Amino acid sequence: MSPVAVTANDVSKRFRLYHEKHQSLKERVLHAGRNPYEDFWALRHVSFEVLEGQTVGILGRNGSGKSTLLKCVSGILTPTEGEVRLRGQLAALLELGAGFQPELSGRENVYMNASLLGLSTRDVDKRFDEIVAFAELEQFIDNQVKFYSSGMYVRLGFAVAVNVEPDVLVVDEVLAVGDERFQRKCLGRIKEFQRDGRTILFVTHAADLVRQICDRAVVLGTGEMLGEGPPGEAIRLFREHLRMLGEGQDIAVPGGAVAVADPLVRITAVDVEHPGTGSRPHLLPGEPMTVSVRFEAERPVGDLVFWLSIFSPTGDLVFGVDTQVLEVPFDAPAGAGACDFRFDSVPLLDGAYPMSIGVRSSDGSVVYDEREVRFEIVNPGRVLGSVALPVHAEVRAVTLQ
């Protein structure tokens, strides 16, 4: 078993919220320097461990304590109670470019920001060209940072931070910044860190990103730890927590949209059936499969849309579809119902494939429910790869003219 890289032991963090602030000298004298306040606990009794080489996500609503937790882990804040223990060097990407000085050039800011992250001038000299190339700022590196666009600013901040090459990387939402191409580039660097065996702890609202790159995830709700587990289980717990809070809570849905949780329609069961059901737990490549979704509606609901997304064993999206795309409209009466997704053939090879199944409104503004299940495929043949493509080969002699 790998050594523990990060330990949070019963971590709690309290802040004081002042209801009024005495500005004048007279007010301070009259109140003897005392300002009324109340205690606000941003974190209460949070405990978890991160093993060396693991990538662990932190899921939670805005105000759930995610960023406060990362700041406690990074040493920026000291827990009011409990403790955080670290093994190895840590670098935190909590606010990209937070140490940049607008009046200085990009080059000067690289050296200054890198020194704040623990790199010596000699180290920066060796990595400077790589930093600038990653940020794609070769033409602008000697310009003052105050003239940079927000995208240029973010790219330079990320490029500096990831070149620290720490044992533990702490990341707060920064994978959601920049344009789509730069996000892919940042994700590629994160995956390089994973291949190098580095430990990563990060906050994100993107459920698919958690599923794609995390080994585990911790779920927070209003400063308290709701649970932890594999990505699919953590995402389910997070979304169930949002549903319990009622309407008005934003959650991510397929395609990157944001919807509001509503318990009006509830998924009661998801069954995966195939020719071997009852005799073997897995499919064979190319076999048909039916995913049956059972649900209940509290009252009549118009224009429901059911979706299904299949992910690879490493978390990449393999296939996604919904009943709107398939042109199967449905107005649900009150009571029970079912939606079946039938696949004539599943052309995949070995692996356990997670599936996200959910139901939403037709405009995507409301997600009623979602479930995470998985199916397994075992390949009895000798072909390699991830997709079972139908193929035939013919070998023949050719007479040369």
Read off the pLDDT of residues 94-144 as tens digits, 9 standing for 90 and up.
Answer: 666 566 888 999 999 999 888 877 788 998 999 999 999 988 899 999 999
pLDDT at 179: 66
With a cut of 60, say whether residue 397 has pLDDT above it: yes
The two three-digit tokens of residue 390, written as one number: 């139908």
- Residue 145 C-alpha from the chain's centroid: 30
What's the length of the chain? 401
Q: How far, CA to CA in Å, does 175 sit from each of 167, 181, 202?
A: 19, 11, 9
CATH class of the region 247-377: mainly beta
What's the pLDDT band for 249 if we cut at 50, 70, 90? Answer: very low
Order the strands of the 366-377 sheet from edge to edge: 250-253, 257-261, 366-377, 351-361, 304-311, 317-322
Domain boundaries, the chain: 1-89+167-185+193-245, 105-165, 247-377
Stretch among 41-55, 192-206, 212-226 having the lowest mean pLDDT: 192-206
Is it true that domain 1-89+167-185+193-245 has CATH number 3.40.50.300?
Answer: yes
Q: What is the pLDDT of residue 256?
A: 46
Same fold, 1-89+167-185+193-245 and 247-377: no
What the block records as the tokens of 328 is 């199967």
Question: Which residues are CB-contacts of 144 (< 8 A; sequence separation ≥ 6)?
Answer: 102, 103, 104, 105
Any residues with CB less than 8 A from the CB of 97 and at least 6 apart, and which? 109, 113, 153, 154, 156, 157
| Residues 294 and 272 sit within 8 Å (Cβ to Cβ) | no
pLDDT band at 17 (very low <50, low <70, confident <90, very high): confident
Q: How far apart are CA 27 and CA 250, in angstroms?
A: 43
Helix-strand-coil percent breakdown of the chain, rounded to 5?
25, 35, 40
